[in-house]
Amino acid sequence: MKRRIAGLLSSLIVITMAAGCAPAVQSGAVQPDSSSPAPVALAAVVTADEPNFVVLISDEPNDIDDFSELWVTVSGIGFVMGDGEGIIEQSFEPVDIPLTDLIGDAAIALWTGELPEGDYVKIFIYVDEVWGTLVEPEGEVVEIKLPSNKLQLDMPFDVGEEETTEFVFDISVFKAGNSGQYILKPQLTESGQGQQYRINEQAHERIQLGRPDWAGKPEWAAQGGEKQSGSANTNQNSAAAGKPEWTDDEDEGGEKPAPGRPDDGVGRPEGAGRPADDEPADDEI
């Protein structure tokens, strides 16, 4: 019995020591890996040598499965400080972000910079445009609607002195009922300081390469027009529509043949359009 108790105590000691030596889970990363680069190193926009704030973009899976590609073009970011202390905004060269690569806890680092220490109550990003390619009908390109040109989150967070604050800004696409239209909205429950995420390095590589031509704005939208329905040549010859050939050329006798009457004489019935027999014609008056 004493040997059995001693063995159990030894096992407990080994387990306790192993737990004490295990590395602590890093804030933010779902699967911490010392060999993978930090979000700051991968950020698409870097505005400070020693940043204290990182904005990450992720996509909560709602109707994203309807798309083979969904790209968001972001051109600025803003922060609202607490107690009416002011608004901090910064614009940058547009960054194309592939949301279809950021489903669930997958994320990319969009912006890293230095913010004044203190409490904040809102964060927003400026969105230039959103375009997606549907799975069904295959390859159809659609424009995603936005309530305005920015997405914003009314959410408190703080920026400290020692640690870098990591803020996940989750964006999701929703289908608007049976209208066939899609709307892009921020997801409050999946956003914020301290949210879990994992960096998708492949998505960062795609951002560096840029959005492919086939995964974005169709030609009719790029030209500033509206999507046409039906044939492209519907009104091409509207000036001549219904115009008989004899309006330009008269026959040799100087008379205009009845439009649509073939050479064999079959066409307008005899007497059609002529006055009745008991009424004199114009040339007999």
Rounded to an integer, what distance in angstroms lies between the CA atom of residue 146 and that of residue 129? Answer: 9
- Per DSSP, helices labelled H in the chain are 2-21, 39-42, 201-209, 219-222
The answer to the question of residue 32 being in a domain is no
Give residues with Cβ within 8 angstroms of 1, minimum separation 6.
Answer: none
Q: What is the pTM of this model?
A: 0.64
Number of folded domains that form the chain: 1
User: What mean pLDDT value characterizes the chain?
Assistant: 74
Determine the pLDDT at residue 37. Answer: 53
Q: Does residue 226 lie in a domain region?
A: no
Query: Rounded CA gap, 242 and 240, in Å?
Result: 6
Residue 273 burial class via C-beta count within 10 angstroms: exposed 0-12, middle 13-18, buried 19 and up: exposed
Q: 3-class SS at 79?
A: strand
The dihedral through the CA atoms of 167, 93, 220, 133 has a sign that is negative
Which sign, positive or negative, has the C-alpha torsion 255, 260, 264, 265?
Answer: negative
So what's the pLDDT on residue 83?
Answer: 80
- Is 30 inside a domain boundary? no
Report, as an integer, the average pLDDT of 85-100: 94
Coil, helix or strand at residue 75: strand
Q: DSSP characters for 159-213?
A: E-SSSPEEEEEEEEEEE-TTS--EEEEE-STT-EET--BEE-HHHHHHHHH---G
Return d(Cα 11, Cα 93) in angstroms, integer: 59
**Among candidate residues 23, 46, 26, the one with its CA nearest the CA of residue 198:** 26
State the average pLDDT over residues 270-274.
51
Residue 72: domain span = 40-206
Amino acid letter at 268? R
Q: Is there a domain that residue 239 lies in?
A: no
In a domain, 250, yes or no: no
Residue 279 lies in a domain: no
| pLDDT for residue 161 | 80
The pLDDT, as a whole number, for residue 112 is 95
* Residues 84 and 122 sit within 8 Å (Cβ to Cβ): no
How far is CA 177 from each of CA 110, 143, 183, 216, rounded to the nearest angstrom?
31, 16, 10, 23
Given a contact cutoff of 8 angstroms between Cβ atoms, the answer to whether 73 and 84 are in contact is no
pLDDT of residue 82: 93
Biggest alpha carbon distance in the chain? 142
Say which amino acid occupies 23: P
Asked if residue 251 lies in contact with residue 257, where contact means CB atoms within 8 angstroms, the answer is: yes
10 occurs within a structural domain:
no
Looking at residues 198-220, what average pLDDT do you find?
77
CB 165 within 8 A of CB 158: yes
pLDDT of 216 reads 54
123-161 pLDDT, tens digit per residue, is 999 999 998 889 888 888 887 888 788 999 999 999 998
Is 162 among the domain residues?
yes
* Residue 181 amino acid letter: Q
